[in-house]
Structure 1
Amino acid sequence: MKTNVTFKNNLRQIASMTGEKCIFEVFEFEELKGGNDIESALVLSFLKDSNIRLRQAKITLNNGAVRLESGALSYLRGDIEIDTKIGGIVGLGKKLFSSKATGETAFKPRYSGTGEITLEPSFGHYALVELFDETIIVDDGVFYAAEDSVEVGAWMQKNISSALMGNEGLFQTKISGTGIVLLELPVPEDEVIKYVLHEDTLKVDGNFAILRTSGVDFTVEKSAKSLIGSAASGEGFLNVFRGTGEVWLVPTEYIYKKLKTSGLSRVNNPGGSSNTQV
């Protein structure tokens, strides 16, 4: 399906994925040129020099339907209807429970028809994934949009250790079904380390795994056989991913947080990144 929108040189496509009745695209502004005073011009110049780019996602529907994170819409064009039905008392209860459990918004409006949906611009980072009758579990705030054939709900941790000591909470966000999903990432996708496990084990010192497939179990375990040994190693407890599937790690997120709060001195001498120490 072709669109009638013409994009100028300042906006370039950085990702796209085509489904049966929709096209997901992510665009990036090469430069923001709207500064009309010295202060804003300096900020815009700093953003350009630091390679910080404004991005925006667009979804083109051809008699299709998608669900968006509440508040994600910027504008739309065409014959598109917005449905925010809650499914009665039972449906409302399920949505409120899922929202409270996962930290996601309770209502994810459904947009259906033919036309174009443009989402809010952001300095954040995005990734497009396509599910084929499968389930992924993601951190709070990672879901942004998906085809209507994809369901978004709550995933309960399978054991107490992962809920209490893994810094992930008792519930995470479950995304399942078949279709395209747009995720909002804390770092650029080319800084995401994607491990594919085959009856294997991945141990992580910290809570920087943002996505795993449902075939991978998550637990929290001592880094050594005893508490004394764990304390002596300086690692304490580790987040452990075991099974067959995929795990996404974002280790550079820790560095960005430290740069923001402590500057270069803390990054040069990090002293460990674990959030699961004894």
Structure 2
Amino acid sequence: MRSSLKFTNKLNMLSEMECESKFQILEYENLDGATDVETAFGLNIIRQSGIKLKQIRIMLEDSSVKLEPGSLSYMKGNIEVKNKSGGLIGFGKKIISSKLTGETAFKPTYSGTGEIFLEPSFGHFALIELEDDEIIVSDNMFYACEEDIDVNAAMQKNISSTFLGNEGLYQTRIEGNGIVALKVPVPESEIFKCILINDTLKVDGNFAILRTGNIEFSVEKSSKSIIGTAINGEGLVNVYRGTGEVWLIPTKNVYKELKMSGASEINKLQFEQDR
């Protein structure tokens, strides 16, 4: 029987998904390691604010996963690490894709039997399983996946999405079969996973972070003409058409406003103290 790592700090499992490998999102209940007043003060604020440290755990059983470079924290077991370039052609494709999307070109593969823990973070994670499907995600969301998943670049399919969608000419495409771990801007409980069945979704803002590959993305004027809108920048909406899934994070702007107002208050207090 394969042994498992044991922890003295209580961890809660937020979610779990299993295919060839098992992925878990863990959450530390408390951080009690302060040894000075400054750290203790910071931890107390974190505790009162309900901010939790999270970590992804991957359990391999004669299976393989690919990780974002630099994401590994530690691992246990009979696990071999390889960097696969895919030959000269594959090497060229990875370099081009990384330049277009901002993703790292080479993602090391970890194969064998054991446990892998990724770097802990105060950010948020989500798991999704692909079944011979593809998703288009915002930049820097990819974190880890099973070996049969491919991460590459997807070009925008129309002029409006390229120049008016604020997403750039290329986005990150993740395709294949298996589990994908994503870094997401908000807790998964605040992600609205909108299912479209030959339908249209119009979003006033850039808070769609994921769509399945068969969803068509464009930018349109909320009424009819897009020409005048391109000049004055008003009345544009992001439009998603087809059958599939779109992930929306409507709370994104709330956090942005809170962060800006918080920074303003800190600057104000600092100014008063310096007077």
TM-score, length of structure 1 as denominator length: 0.89
The answer for the alignment partner of 2:251 in structure 1 is 252
Residue pair 1:223, 1:235 contacting (<8 A) in 2 also: no
**For structure 1, which segment, 120-129 or 219-228, has the greater mean C-alpha deviation from structure 2 after superposition?**
219-228
Deviation, 1:3, is 4.2
Give, in whole Å, the separation in 2 of the partners of 1:206 and 1:109: 35
Structure 1 residues 165-204: aligned runs within 5 Å: 165-204=164-203
Tell whether 2:5 aligns with 1:10: no
1:190–1:235 CA distance, 2 compared to 1 (3 A): farther
* Percent of paired sites with the same residue: 57
Spell out, residue by residue over 1:57-77, the C-alpha distance to the aligned partner (whole angstroms, 9 max, x if none): 111101100001111101111
Residue pair 1:126, 1:185 contacting (<8 A) in 2 also: yes
Give, in whole Å, the separation in 2 of the partners of 1:23 and 1:54: 20
Deviation, 1:164, is 1.0
1:224–1:122 CA distance, 2 compared to 1 (3 A): same
Structure 1 residues 14-163: aligned runs within 5 Å: 14-20=14-20, 22-163=21-162
Q: Give SS of 1:111's match.
A: strand
1:124–1:3 CA distance, 2 compared to 1 (3 A): farther
Tell whether 2:245 aligns with 1:261: no
Q: Give SS of 2:167's match.
A: coil
Q: Give SS of 2:183's match.
A: strand
Deviation, 1:235, is 4.5
Deviation, 1:225, is 1.6
Deviation, 1:228, is 9.1
Give, in whole Å, the separation in 2 of the partners of 1:240 and 1:218: 6
Deviation, 1:12, is 1.4
Residue pair 1:98, 1:154 contacting (<8 A) in 2 also: yes
Give, in whole Å, the separation in 1 of the partners of 2:3 and 2:29: 22
Q: Give SS of 1:210's match.
A: strand
Q: Give SS of 2:98's match.
A: helix
The answer for the alignment partner of 1:271 in structure 2 is none
Task: Give the counterpart letter for 1:94 in structure 2.
Answer: K
Structure 1's consecutive aligned runs of 4 or more residues displaced over 6 angstroms after TM superposition are none
Residue pair 2:9, 2:30 contacting (<8 A) in 1 also: no
**For structure 1, which segment, 31-40 or 221-230, has the greater mean C-alpha deviation from structure 2 after superposition?**
221-230
Q: Give SS of 1:93's match.
A: helix
The answer for the alignment partner of 2:268 in structure 1 is none
Structure 1 residues 204-219: aligned runs within 5 Å: 204-219=203-218
Task: Give the counterpart letter for 2:74 in structure 1.
Answer: Y
Deviation, 1:226, is 3.3
Residue pair 2:25, 2:125 contacting (<8 A) in 1 also: yes
Residue pair 1:14, 1:28 contacting (<8 A) in 2 also: yes
TM-score, length of structure 2 as denominator length: 0.90
Residue pair 2:135, 2:174 contacting (<8 A) in 1 also: yes
Task: Give the counterpart letter for 1:91 in structure 2.
Answer: G
Give, in whole Å, the separation in 2 of the partners of 1:185 and 1:129: 12
Task: Give the counterpart letter for 1:40 in structure 2.
Answer: T
Deviation, 1:171, is 0.8
Spell out, residue by residue over 1:73-94, the C-alpha distance to the aligned partner (whole angstroms, 9 max, x if none): 0111111111113233322211
**For structure 1, which segment, 84-93 or 221-230, has the greater mean C-alpha deviation from structure 2 after superposition?**
221-230
Residue pair 1:205, 1:235 contacting (<8 A) in 2 also: no
Task: Give the counterpart letter for 1:162 in structure 2.
Answer: S
Deviation, 1:210, is 0.3
Count residues in correspondence. 263
The answer for the alignment partner of 2:273 in structure 1 is none
Q: Give SS of 2:168's match.
A: coil
Deviation, 1:10, is 2.2
* Cα root mean square deviation, aligned: 2.1
Deviation, 1:9, is 5.3
Spell out, residue by residue over 1:79-112, the C-alpha distance to the aligned partner (whole angstroms, 9 max, x if none): 1111113233322211111111111111111110
Q: Give SS of 1:12's match.
A: strand
Residue pair 1:223, 1:230 contacting (<8 A) in 2 also: no
Task: Give the counterpart letter for 1:98 in structure 2.
Answer: S
1:264–1:249 CA distance, 2 compared to 1 (3 A): farther
Give, in whole Å, the separation in 1 of the partners of 2:212 and 2:111: 28
1:234–1:100 CA distance, 2 compared to 1 (3 A): closer
